[in-house]
Amino acid sequence: MISLLKSMDMKKVIAFKILLVLTISITTVGCKRSSSSNSSRATGWDINSRDGGFQYNTQFKEQETAPGLVFVEGGTFTMGKVQDDVMHDWNNTPNQQHIQSFYMDETEVTNKMYMEYLDWLKRIYPPTEDNYKAIYNGALPDTLVWRNRLGYNEVMTENYLRHPGYGEYPVVGVSWIQAVEFASWRTDRVNEMYLEDAGYITRDAKIAATTGETFNTNTYIMAPTQVYGGNDSLTNPENTRRRVNTTASGDTTGVYAGRETGIISPSYRLPTEAEWEYAALGLTELRNYNIYRGRKKYPWDGQYTRSGKRQVRGDQLANFKQGNGDYGGIAGWSDDGADITNEVKKYEPNDFGLYDMAGNVAEWVADVYRPIVDDEFNDFNYYRGNVYTKNAINEDGTVKIVTTDEIVFDTLPNGKVIARDLPGEISQVAVDEDETYLRQNFDRSDNRNFRDGDRQSSRQYRESFSEEDGVATESSMTGKMYNSPKHNVDVDDSTGALIREYDKSNKRTSLINDEVRVYKGGSWKDREYWLDPAQRRYFPQTMATDYIGFRCAMSRVGSKSKSKNKTKN
């Protein structure tokens, strides 16, 4: 009897052990499947299976820092200033804003960087050809900005852009429109390099490209067979010099690198005003309540423009005009090292690692200027200037690619001619009711003057049209708050001569319109007052000066913080 009981207990123990092992095995298998990056939490199906099915980049870690940029971790800050507004502009009232993480150029765009852009344009769109002449000429900086009626500056007019002695100096004479075009070009060249490194584009395809053969990021994503003038492995198998591979392994399955691969970088662009101001303040080492509330005066710590460090005590921390007739100080003593602009990286960076966020040159930002920042409507990634567009579509449903014969040139109010789109790019049109109908977040394509106080800011605003020609009547336009001069330049179709019409009306009340942009930061030509990152001024987007340059920014995708800077609990 005792032996029988022992035998039964033994069977229970064995059964329990078997059950325990099965339970652990099942749990382990289940955990592996649910925690595996190659198993779907939605369906349980395998991801990235060799047999086909859903393919997804599960190995992506974080966005790579693109050439020339540094990481700026986002956060909250007080935009605007609380110091005395001695100019009585009343255009930078303090308000709390939150900025997403982004990337920003370590320095201003230099002459050497811009010359690389001009060299590429000259090679791909030779100005010797009539179809392309205006493309190259439209990108040239205005070197005549250095001239002064009562000053001798011809050495800068003739040498500043191209002489290697100024190669690492910030480029000037560039309008806002030209700066935007440079950023777009830079986006394409960097993504072209990334795709080449990953094997999606044949090695040195960017060098082998000839006249009119361009790579455009959006065209590659939407119509990859149309980049480089259609020279890829499918449309022209015999052309191996400028071939676009279908995959990194070079097979012909028709798979190209889309955004889901993580290879294609977000666009270079001008920073928004809020991003620029946040980056300039450099609040990464913030430990002071007053600084948090907007009382930080400069990109560096302290209330003075001279260094307090023992080794360099008394040295100027930025390049600015120190007084009447004093652009650098006494030679050899109390000197800021420059009389005009200075070579980048000559002064200490701020806490984000950004150079010359005060002084040297002021900088274009993306925003259209208005005297107010409407924080009541939005306090997250604030930006005024959204004009929403979409790809133009052909009758057969394909995207419309701009060809050499279809380039549209715009004549600006100052007479300069620029190309609206370059060959190889996708033509853009304004969004229409298909996108705006019953939407709550936007209801029109052009939002530059939204909530700025004029009649067009009204949600129900509609222009009145004359019944004869369908053109807006003068009476419908008089309610605008920003009633600026309307100069006009037309081209005589018969002679090609420019017809300039100056607005001499005495009824204009403002210089502010939808084509003036904010620029930030003091310059070599400005007094100390303008070094405060909160200061904001405006200038026509079609014009250029000898004291405004620019730097590029790029949005960050994914996590707010860089993974190497954070430790999981």
- Dmax (CA) for the chain in angstroms is 122
548-549 vs 362-368, strand pairing mode: parallel
| Cβ neighbourhood burial of 565 (10 Å; 0-12, 13-18, 19+) | exposed
Nearest to 284 by CA among 460, 101, 459, 61: 101
Buried b or exposed e, range 243-253, using 16+ CB within 10 angstroms: bbbbeeeeeee
Cα–Cα distance for residue pair 157/116, rounded to 1 Å: 19
- What does the pLDDT profile of the chain (569 residues) look like in tens digits? 445 445 556 555 555 555 555 555 544 444 444 446 788 889 989 888 877 778 888 888 899 999 999 999 999 999 997 677 777 788 888 999 999 999 999 999 999 999 999 999 999 999 999 889 999 999 999 999 999 999 999 999 999 999 999 999 999 999 999 999 999 999 999 999 999 998 888 888 888 777 878 899 999 999 988 888 875 544 454 554 456 776 666 554 567 888 988 999 999 999 999 999 999 998 865 544 444 455 677 887 777 676 666 666 657 778 899 889 988 877 766 677 889 999 999 999 999 999 999 999 999 999 999 999 999 999 999 999 999 999 999 999 999 999 888 888 888 887 788 888 888 999 999 999 999 999 999 999 999 989 987 666 665 555 544 444 444 444 444 446 678 888 888 877 677 677 888 888 888 888 899 999 999 999 999 998 899 999 999 999 999 999 999 999 999 999 999 865 444 43
Structure tokens belonging to residue 144: 């005549």
Nearest to 353 by CA among 303, 402, 294, 282: 282
Cα–Cα distance for residue pair 236/229, rounded to 1 Å: 11
Structure tokens belonging to residue 195: 């795709």
E-assigned strand segments in 185-303: 268-269
Cα–Cα distance for residue pair 25/21, rounded to 1 Å: 6
Structure tokens belonging to residue 461: 């605003």
> Residue 27: what residue type?
T
Cα–Cα distance for residue pair 252/166, rounded to 1 Å: 48
| Residue ranges per structural domain of the chain | 64-200+257-380+517-568, 449-464+473-513
> Contact, 270 vs 182, CB < 8 A?
no
Which pLDDT does position 8 carry in this prediction?
Answer: 52
DSSP code string of 219-245 = HHHH-GGGGGGG-STTT-TT--TT-B-
Structure tokens belonging to residue 237: 């198998």
536-540 vs 516-520, strand pairing mode: antiparallel
Cα–Cα distance for residue pair 504/515, rounded to 1 Å: 19
Angle between helices 176-197 and 111-124 (to 10 degrees): 80
Q: How many residues does the chain have?
A: 569
Cα–Cα distance for residue pair 88/110, rounded to 1 Å: 34
Radius of gyration, alpha carbons of the chain: 29
If one counts every other C-beta atom within 10 angstroms of the C-beta of residue 156, the result is 20
> Contact, 256 vs 224, CB < 8 A?
yes
Cα–Cα distance for residue pair 189/552, rounded to 1 Å: 14
Provide φ and ψ at 229, rounded to 5°: 70, 25
Nearest to 173 by CA among 132, 139, 134: 139
> Contact, 231 vs 243, CB < 8 A?
yes
Nearest to 103 by CA among 357, 367, 354: 354
User: Model-level pTM greater than 0.75?
Assistant: yes
CATH code for the part of the protein at 64-200+257-380+517-568: 3.90.1580.10
Which pLDDT does position 318 carry in this prediction?
Answer: 86
CA distances from 348 to 216, 237, 489, 522 (A): 37, 53, 45, 16
